[in-house]
Every structure is written in structure tokens, then in C-alpha cells.
Amino acid sequence: MPVEPLAAPAPAGLARRFAAMFYDSLLMAAALYAAAIPAVWVHGGAVPPDDPWFRAWLAFVAWFYLALSWTRGGQTLGMRAWRCRLVATGGGPVGWGRTVTRFAAALVSWAALGLGFWWALVDPERRTWHDRWSGTRVIVLPR
């Protein structure tokens, strides 16, 4: 009896991605708030809004949360809730180097008025700019 090959995992659609990002934005807000506390303390109560070190610190915290999640199972908590997983284009795990590229490319996707995200609507593989540039894809996990 021949064995049928497993079907390739379905790519995550834009609505599912946005739902996962909404969940993660709540967690990210809490993480950034906690990360800001030491900086506020050091500055005596208020951090100047144009402080480049403070902005870099917050960007590092945001990247680290995502990178840690992506390299340890391919899922943030929001992605887990919405049954999504980030994988390398070939289907394997994502390494730390790809997380840096993906994070930077996602910033470009947002800076272009979100066009990099909306690209998934016209892309035949439903990949965003940052998926393509980082050699990753977001798939839907079976129930």
C-alpha cells in the first residue's frame, strides 16, 4: 500500500498574522514598560523622548522577545494562540541571524505604511516582505 506524502503546511493568512500580532502587542507593551523602568529611574523620572540609547534599548528588548520565541519553537505566545509557526523557507528552525534580518525587514515593512505586510495579499505564497528578505515563512499548524 503506497504512502501518500504529507501535504505542505498552509501559509498563514494576513488576518491570522494580525490577530497573533495583536496578542503579542499586549505582551510587548508589558515587556517594554518593564524595560523602561530602569531607564526612567536612571534619568530621575523622565527619559528625553529623543534619547537614542533609550530607543535602542527598547528595540533590543522587542527583538529579543521575538527572537527568543522564534528560535525556541518558532512561536510567540500570540502565534501559539493562533496556531502559527515561523519556519525557515526549507521548513527547518529559524536561527538567530534570521531573526535579526526579519526584525529589521519588518520595521521596513511597517515604515512603508504597512505595505510589506499587505504584500501577503498578492504574493502567491502569502509571504510578506520580511518573510522573503529573511528566508522565512509563517505556516498554520493543524488542529
pLDDT in tens, 54-112: 999 999 999 999 999 999 999 999 999 999 999 999 999 999 999 999 999 999 999 99
What are residue 140's DSSP bridge partners?
84
Q: What's the confidence (pLDDT) of residue 12?
A: 97
Confidence of residue 1 (pLDDT cuts 50, 70, 90): low
Alpha helices in the chain (DSSP H): 14-42, 52-71, 77-81, 96-111, 115-118, 129-134
What are residue 88's DSSP bridge partners?
136
Q: What's the confidence (pLDDT) of residue 43?
A: 84
What is d(CA 143, CA 138) in angstroms, rounded to the nearest whole number?
16
Its pTM stands at 0.89
Confidence of residue 49 (pLDDT cuts 50, 70, 90): confident
